[in-house]
Structure 1
């Protein structure tokens, strides 16, 4: 699945391929895994996710990346590794690309997500149940792109992160209220959204 969004108001120096990690063990078990304590060492790609990545790399349909930057969680690191290996690229982890912290719901059923999103729709700054505010996620995700824009030019950069952070980032790039991030089309596991120069 691929989407393309070009920010009309910004002159991009690079092209970005924003990729959600492949289907993970957290997805498989319907669990919220958002803490580094759990997410860095465990809950990597599921067998389905491994197959997804093998297929995507085998029939790569996007511009060839020249850099790979990724969240340091296991599921995103493994996703990035599939692409980096295929194109013989080094990988750069960036903690700012981590999953949104879901606070008290860590380790709980992913049925809790809609409850959080309902609160997001009312206030992008809320931290109910110690959940990371949408505005905070947007700030760290945007900071990654801003730094890459300063450091590079003419590159195609694969950015591997998680569903909520990427949807929040895309909402910010569109200049829409962050409270509307769930109005973005859902990003499926292993999906890629292109942003930047064509």
Structure 2
């Protein structure tokens, strides 16, 4: 195994049109505020060799703009779509709590055992996201990479990096709009080691 150090910055999309809700597979573009949040979350000092993005509008529009502006290769990956929340999609947290509060609480307590009605299972979601993560981790080894994606996707990747059980993966990491996470991946003859080195609002690009 060739020695390499990779740096992956994951950023959640900004606010979409329609504001906060269980959006899931509902494909809304960024609002004006969302564009401001995304543009403010990156600086000229950030340096990436490649960008990987969810194909959903709230991610891909910003990723495309950034790739075009900086001349960076852009890769779109269907596996990085947000989890499908089924019947909860398009409804706010308060609306879901008022009408389906028990199932919502059960989902957050243990998403493996409690799938949103008509939605995607946590296991299926986790499987496709981790497949994507492992693919790009190998494909872009040794590079600095930006991944533009969703709150649920970031939770799955962080859970893989930190060995968080899937049952606790949704409730263990806060991912506000335009939140950034940095993961370092080192490979050598001793194996592969990955670690979360930053999470939240940060702009420095130097590891």
> Same fold by TM-score, threshold 0.5 exceeded?
yes
- 1:14 aligned residue (6, 23, 29): 6
Specify every segment of 5 or more residues in structure 2 that has no aligned partner in the other structure, as ranges: 186-206
Q: Is the 8 A contact 1:54 1:82 kept in 2?
A: no
Equivalent in 29, 43, 51 of residue 44 of structure 1: 29
Q: Which residue of 2 aligns with 1:66?
A: 49
CA RMSD, Structure 1 to Structure 2 (Å): 2.4
Q: Is residue 107 of structure 1 aligned with residue 90 of structure 2?
A: yes
Higher RCO (CA 8 Å, separation ≥ 6 residues): 1
**1:120–1:134: 8 Å Cα contact kept in structure 2?**
no
1:170 counterpart residue number: 158
How far, CA to CA, are the matches of 1:101 and 1:180 in structure 2?
18
Alignment TM-score, normalising by the size of structure 1: 0.78
Larger radius of gyration: 2
Deviation at 1:157, TM superposition (A): 1.3
Matched-pair contact (CA < 8 Å) for 1:72–1:94: yes
Higher helix share: 1
TM-score, L = length of structure 2: 0.75
Name the counterpart of 1:133. Answer: 121
- Which sections of structure 1, spanning at least 5 residues, go unmatched? 1-10
Q: 1:21 touches 1:190 (CA, 8 Å); kept in 2?
A: yes
Report how far residue 135 of structure 1 moved. Answer: 2.1
What is the number of equivalent residue pairs in this alignment?
179
